[in-house]
Amino acid sequence: MEIVRRVVVFDAADVNVESAFWASVLNGNVVDDDEDFHCVIDATGAWCIGVQSAPHHVSPQWPDGVQQQQVHLDLHVDDPQSAHQEMLRLGARLLQPAVDLDAEEGHQVYADPAGHPFCVGWGHPSPSALANFLAARFGNEATAS
């Protein structure tokens, strides 16, 4: 079996707001031909996020609460200060700030408009450092993307 696409799908009461948020975060576009399911296409033209209508969606309560999160995204950036400002401008809500946005490595936890938690991290291994680590650990057939 060959996986030809990996798409994370979020439930949301308002598919328009949720898909527009993620398209803005990813500098992409929304395919909204279906009112109950939108495809978020990133800046490279890849379909990477779906948003499906869930009229009774209940936002997860992070980190504790009755409605627990079940999955979250980790986004990695080079400039945490500008990423933070952009996330807030796009409608994210900060759930857990980093101790220091100027630290060499760290992360912050946000919620998207539908309340799904996601992380923005920085200072983590570069793609080449990760590829070297994976090759050393698993052999030359391993690649990082």
What is the amino acid identity at position 94? Answer: L
pLDDT at 3 over 90: no
- Categorise residue 45: left if φ over 0, alpha if ψ from -120 to 50, beta otherwise: left
Confidence (pTM):
0.74
Report residue 127: phi and psi, to 5°.
-55, -40
Q: At 4, is the pLDDT very low, low, confident or very high (cuts 50, 70, 90)?
A: low
Give the SS3 label for residue 67. Answer: coil
Model pLDDT, residue 135: 85
> Among all chains, which residue has been given the structure tokens 């030809």?
4
Tally of CB atoms within 10 A around 95: 15
Could you give the domains of the chain?
1-57 (3.30.720), 59-145 (3.30.720.110)
Structure tokens at 131: 């590829």
Instruction: Kindly report, residue by residue over 8-33, the tens digit of the pLDDT.
Output: 999 999 999 999 999 999 999 999 99
